Chains A and B, each alone.
Chain A
Amino acid sequence: MSSTLKIEGLRAEVAGKEVLRGFDLEMSSGEVHVIMGPNGSGKSTLAHVLTGHPGYKVLAGSVKLDGIELLELSPTERARHGLLLALQQPMEVPGVRPYDLLHAAGASEVNLHERMVEEANKVELRPEVLERFVNVDLSGGERKRAEMVQLGILQPKFAVLDEIDSGLDVDALGAVARRLQLATKEWNCGVLAITHFRRLLQELTPTKIHVVSEGRVVATGGPELSEILERDGYEPFRAQSA
């Protein structure tokens, strides 16, 4: 079954400053879309707005998952409709165990522990780490691998990854990217990856790349776009948006 995520004319502000200024994007299940852009272009704001982070205010626009308006839903309902955000800095939740989180998030308890171990193995995470409280005393790499365990269990229709590659060493980055690539096959997961860096794309094949500047998409293309970015930087795209 194929799903569609459609973002139209999205405008949002954070701390009184408009950061997203008419953002459009459409993607389907199984696709990998990559959003690239300089600091302050609105990339992270997009990820947070999609999942209803309390610090962001939506001014206009729409985000529809299979025709259902997500912006009217609570963060919980958005997740239950199939949207999952993996964070740049996965949050520590002291005292809460990953198992209990996943169970409360709707994961079936049938073989849950075994499935978590299996998912941990897929991203080369020591399963003992999952006995600790959510993200507490985990290294940067372990946290992001642990986010992939959640992804594997919850199997969202669309996964939004906010700079999941930042602060990762090459091994961890490879493990995360391979897991995402596999997810597009395993349950036809759509992946929307926000990144600064091209290196994520070495293991994760993008369907499309979107260049973002000043809160909107200014260019969309195939993998060749990343090569242009590598060579010329974001400057030409900035000019284009002006």
Chain B
Amino acid sequence: MKTFADSATSFIASQSDAASRQGAFNAFEATGLPTTTDEVWRYAPLSELSLDKFSITSSPSNHTDSSFAIDLTKSAGLVIRVVDGYCVNIGDLPKGVHAESVESSTSLSGQSLTLRYESDTFAQLNAALAPSTTVIRIDAGVHVEQPIIVLNATSAQSSFSRTQIELAKGSSATIVEYFEGGENALVVPLSEYSIGENASLQLITYQRLNATAWHVARTTGLIQRDGRLRQAVIGIGGYYNRSRNDAEFLGTGAENELRTTFLGSGKQVHDFRTRQFHKVGRSRSTLLSKGAVADESRSVYTGVIEIEKGAKRTDARQTNHNLLLSPHAHADSVPNLDIRENDVMCAHASSVGPLDELQRWYLESRGVSRPDAERLMIQGFFNEMLTTLPKELAQLVEQDVTSVLSQVNVVTP
């Protein structure tokens, strides 16, 4: 049997930019997989991860879109299909929108990927093994009305997709990155978003992978002066779902609103990490992370707000709420602040607990049955996270989340 390394090496050898890929793979091999003694990986069931179960595919496999994926594309202005990390189709481009699949080993920050993600083993794997980078660019001043949907499916044993989205000055767009498939697969997407001056990106990352998938994702927003990134990350699928979402504030007035949500069931582990890095003053971040864990699932939320010396009048807020739907589920919340400037507004709050008994009583006192009251409240917990989405999209996601929730077992403590 071929090992993961053999499979990776032969894949890399077949690529045109083999040298830089090999460099990234060497960097990966030098560090190897993390272990749970490493603080940032301590909650991951790494002892169950054996890379040799996954081989690298040299071409995209066939994938049939789910009915949800089909519904999602109905109101889209542009649909881009990515299968097993390969960009297989780009729809008709609206005016001012460019999309292509390119060979690249450069981060939107300008650094090489290997350097940019030096300390991130899985990002190095992505740098070595992503077939290409799917690039979406919006021209200056262009307002893209209908959402751009990136359908990202995994049918092979592994998938390393890379997406880079660039909004030029004064432009705006709504983009959905939707993930499905991934049965018994390793799914390692790496996304970067560059928000130009006074540009505005509404981004929805919706992860609905198979419950057996290992999903290790990372996104980074680079926000220029008066730019705005509103990002919603919804994680439903995966056996291990790691989602790291960073934002860097590069110009004054830069703004990031990040909402991360997850629903854990079975023995899933949801591992959410955020970093809001305020490099300049008068930038603003609002982070709301909410998740629910049922059955024997676990979750961890770790977030850091970092404020550079001199980044005066930064306003950074971080909130994390976790809902326990079973006595055997567990949630950890680890908010961190790293502030090197005094003249800032900074707040964080977190909570872990079961459904609110009084809210439930209020619903029951109107004649709502207990199971219905609990269902409404759990749905509500998620609905609240979707309020900033465009209405049609919010409805679609809300319906989908509702159908998932109807399967979840709620055990009141």
Q: Is A95 an interface residue (CB 8 A)?
A: yes
CA distance A54 to B367 in the complex (A): 15
Mask, A76-96, CB within 8 Å of B = 1, is 101110001101001111111
The answer to whether B136 has its CB under 8 Å from any CB of chain A is no
Is there contact, CB below 8 Å, between A75 and B364?
yes
B382 — which chain A residues lie within 8 A by C-beta? Answer: 95
Query: B384–A95 contact, CB under 8 A?
Result: yes
- Considering only residues 361-413 of chain B, those with a C-beta below 8 Å from chain A are 361-370, 372-373, 376-377, 379-384
CA of A101 to CA of B364, assembled, Å: 10
Q: Are B379 and A95 in contact (CB under 8 A)?
A: yes
Interface residues on B, range: 20 to 34
Q: Which residues of A contact B379 (CB under 8 A)?
A: 95-96
Measured between beta carbons, the chain B residues less than 8 angstroms from A95 are: 377, 379-384
User: Smallest CB–CB gap between B26 and chain A, Å?
Assistant: 48
By a CB distance below 8 angstroms, the chain B residues around A92 are 359
Given contacts A74-B370, A105-B367, A106-B367, contact A53 B361 (CB under 8 A): yes
Q: Are A101 and B357 in contact (CB-based, < 8 A)?
A: no
Please name all residues of chain A whose beta carbon is closer than 8 Å to the beta carbon of B377 when the two chains form the complex: 93, 95-96
A79–B376 touching, CB < 8 Å: no
Given contacts A54-B358, A104-B372, contact A93 B365 (CB under 8 A): no
CB pair A75–B361 under 8 Å, yes or no, is: yes
A94 to B383, CA, bound (A): 8
Contact between A105 and B358, CB atoms less than 8 A apart: no
Interface status of A237 (Cβ within 8 A of chain B): no
Given the contacts A54-B357, A104-B372, A133-B384, A93 and B362 also touching, CB distance less than 8 Å: yes
User: Known contacts A91-B358, A96-B377: does B384 contact A79 (CB below 8 Å)?
Assistant: no
Query: Chain A nearest CB: distance from B393 CB in Å?
Result: 17
Q: Residue among A52, A74, A79, A80 with the most chain B CB within 10 A?
A: A79
Distance from B216 Cβ to chain A, minimum over Cβ atoms (Å): 29
Size category of the binding interface on chain A: 20 to 34
Is A34 in contact with chain B by the CB < 8 A criterion? no
Question: Does A150 sit within 8 A of B, measured CB to CB?
Answer: yes
- Contact assessment for B369 and A96 in the assembled complex, using a CB-CB cutoff below 8 Å: no
- Residue contact B367 to A133, C-beta cutoff 8 Å: no
Least distance between B369 CB and chain A CB atoms (Å): 5
Partner of A52, one of B359, B365, B383: B365
The chain B residue with its CB closest to the CB of A81 is: B367
Contact of B364 (CB < 8 Å), options: A74, A87, A94:
A74
Is A154 on the interface with B (CB-CB < 8 A)? yes
Chain A residue numbers with a CB within 8 Å of B367 are: 76, 79-80, 84, 105-106, 154
Q: How far is the CA of A90 from the CA of B382 in the complex (A)?
A: 22
Chain A residue at smallest Cβ distance from B359: A93
CB under 8 Å from chain B, chain A span 92-115: 92-97, 100-102, 104-106
Q: Indicate the member of A51, A53, A97, A100 with the most B CB atoms within 10 Å.
A: A100
Residues of B within 8 A of A75 (CB): 361, 364-365
Q: Which of B357, B358, B376 has the most chain A CB within a 10 Å cutoff?
A: B376
The reply to whether B361 and A101 contact each other, CB–CB distance below 8 Å, is: no
Docked complex Cα distance between A76 and B383 (Å)? 24
Contact A51–B357 (Cβ < 8 Å): no
Could you tell me if B365 and A101 are in contact, using CB atoms closer than 8 angstroms?
no
Give, as a whole number of angstroms, the nearest-CB distance from B6 to chain A.
49
Task: Contact check, A79 vs B366: say whether CB atoms are below 8 A apart.
Answer: yes
Among A51, A85, A96, A97, residue most surrounded by chain B Cβ atoms (within 10 Å): A96
Please determine whether B380 and A104 come into contact, CB atoms closer than 8 angstroms.
Answer: no
Q: Which residue of B lies closest to A102 (CB)?
A: B366
Please name all residues of chain A whose beta carbon is closer than 8 Å to the beta carbon of B384 when the two chains form the complex: 94-95, 133
A230 to B359, CA, bound (A): 36
Task: Given A94-B380, A95-B377, A96-B376, check contact A101 B368 (CB 8 Å).
Answer: yes
Q: Taking A53-B361, A104-B372 as contacts, is the C-beta distance between A93 and B380 under 8 angstroms?
A: yes
| Residues of A39-80 whose CB lies within 8 A of B | 51-54, 74-76, 78-80
On whether the beta carbons of B376 and A76 are closer than 8 Å, the reply is: no
Q: Which of B358, B361, B380 contacts A96 (CB 8 A)?
A: B380
Other-chain contact of A133, B362, B363, B368, B380 (Cβ < 8 Å): B380
**Is there an interface contact between B366 and A150, defined as CB atoms closer than 8 Å?**
yes
Minimum CB distance partner of B321 in chain A: A94
A105 contacts which chain B residues (CB < 8 A)? 363, 366-368
Contact of A79 among B365, B372, B383 (CB under 8 A): B365
Question: In angstroms, how far is the closest chain A Cβ from the Cβ of B53?
Answer: 39
B211 to chain A, nearest CB (A): 24
Minimal Cβ-Cβ distance residue in B for A136:
B384
Q: Kindly state the separation between the CA atoms of A95 and B367 in the bound complex, as whole angstroms.
A: 18
Given B358, B359, B369, B380, which contacts A76 in the complex, CB threshold below 8 Å? Answer: B369
Complex Cα distance A96/B352, Å?
A: 20
Instruction: Encode B337-364 as 1/0 by CB contact (under 8 A) with A.
Output: 0000000000000000000011101111
**Which A residues are in CB contact (< 8 Å) with B370?**
74, 76
B362 / chain A contacts, CB cutoff of 8 Å: 87, 90-91, 93
- Contacting pair B380 A79 (CB below 8 A): no
Closest beta carbon of chain B to A215's beta carbon, Å = 22
Contacts of A96 in B (CB 8 A): 363, 376-377, 379-380, 383
Q: Are A101 and B363 in contact (CB under 8 A)?
A: yes
- Evaluate contact between B364 and A76: CB separation under 8 angstroms: yes
> Can you pick out 28 interface pairs between chain A and chain B where the beta carbons lie within 8 Å of each other?
A52-B365, A54-B361, A74-B364, A74-B370, A75-B364, A76-B367, A76-B369, A79-B367, A85-B365, A90-B362, A93-B377, A93-B380, A94-B384, A95-B377, A95-B381, A95-B383, A96-B376, A96-B380, A96-B383, A101-B368, A104-B368, A104-B372, A104-B373, A104-B376, A105-B367, A133-B380, A150-B366, A154-B366
Binding site for B on A (CB under 8 A): 51-54, 74-76, 78-80, 84-85, 87, 90-97, 100-102, 104-106, 133, 150, 154
- Add 4 more A-B contacts to A104-B369, A150-B366 (CB < 8 A): A53-B361, A76-B373, A93-B376, A106-B367
Q: List 4 tightest A-B contacts by C-beta distance, closest first.
A: A95-B380, A79-B367, A75-B364, A105-B367
